[in-house]
Amino acid sequence: MSYELSQQLKSDGFSINTLAAVIHRNNGRRSFNTMEYYCIYIVFTNTTVVVEDVEYDIEGPALAFIGPSTNILYKQSAEEDSNYVVAFSSAFYDRSASDSLFLNSELFYNDSQKIFIAPTIATAYDIKKFAVDRLALYESAEKGLYVSIAHNTIEALILSGMLYISKSSVGNTADNFSHIDTVNKFRVLMNKDYRLNKTVKYYADQLHVTPRRLTEMTEKVSGKTPKQLITEKVVQESLRLLRHSKFTITQIAYEMEFNDEANFSNFIKKNLGQTPRELRAKTGVLKNRQN
């Protein structure tokens, strides 16, 4: 994500731009990482995206939901000024238990794929009028009003996507509501701090709960322990660097905040069954360079 867009999001917690504008502000680069932000891709014209190395063809009109810390590559498209990217932080959107439920749903955290694509019931004209033109109309209004309109717009887009998620997968029992806010905050913290902090105790302390309590809540909401979620995140980012970066394995180890290459190699071997060198050799990355 470009510096300019990153600063806009950090300042306001929300942004909406055409895909063409996003790419332009990213100095023409078509690859992004969503960092700690949630993204809704409003697709009016057919397009192709690559999310975590998997390619998806999206037929418009449609909505694509992408969670934090996800790598995206937008393929070349003839009408990039007609598709929009809505990005927002948890702090901007999360105001209630139902908001937290939406942010923790399969729209943004889907175990089978890193993008959730939902066709729209409304026509492209109606979606643009409601989600794009209305925001533009209120952009110069008093900030509090614009923020309310933006929140309402995000909610409407999310509700459209939720129509395509089974009720059983949402987990919308009253008991779950009491845990969702804490689990959502844990996920946001983890996506930000996973390199430096890989222990459950660190996140439990930040959230003012015990590690055991945090484990109970994450298992109830996501079916996984916080340790599993942290490990999955570290493994995912390590694989991305091994496959796509020009860093040596030692540099990757330090980038991921391991004490040394040996500890990093042991971690990867334990979780993936192969060493970093074996995994890198499979991809053909830097095979002619000394690692």
Sort residue 29 into left (φ over 0), alpha (ψ -120 to 50) or beta.
beta
Mean pLDDT throughout 37-58? 93
Predicted local distance difference test score (pLDDT) of residue 166: 53
Closest to 51 measured CA to CA, from 26, 36, 31: 31
Q: Is the pLDDT of residue 107 over 80?
A: yes
Q: Could you tell me if 161 and 118 are in contact, meaning their C-beta atoms sit under 8 angstroms apart?
A: yes
Query: Taking 60 as the threshold, does the pLDDT of residue 284 lie above it?
Result: no
Q: What is the pLDDT of residues 207-223, one digit of tens each?
A: 889 999 999 988 887 78
Query: For domain 3-169, which architecture applies?
Result: Sandwich (2.60)
**What are the start and end residues of each CATH 1.10.10.60 domain in the chain?**
173-291
173 band by pLDDT with thresholds 50, 70 and 90: very low
Rounded Cα–Cα distance for residues 147 and 12 (Å): 9
Q: Which residue has the higher pLDDT, 58 or 283?
A: 58
**224-255, pLDDT tens digit by residue?**
899 999 999 899 889 888 988 888 999 999 99
pLDDT tens profile 22-32: 898 888 889 99
Q: How many whole angstroms separate alpha carbon 250 and alpha carbon 238? A: 12
What's the confidence (pLDDT) of residue 51? 94
Numbered ranges of CATH 2.60.120 in the chain:
3-169
- Residue 178's pLDDT is 54
The pLDDT value recorded for residue 125 is 87
Q: How far apart are CA 4 and CA 6, in angstroms?
A: 5
Question: What confidence score (pLDDT) does residue 245 get?
Answer: 84
Q: Work out the pLDDT band at 122, boundaries 50, 70, 90.
A: confident
Residue 11: pLDDT band with limits 50, 70, 90: low
Q: What percent of the chain has pLDDT over 90?
A: 41
Taking domain 173-291, whether its CATH number is 1.10.10.60 is answered by yes
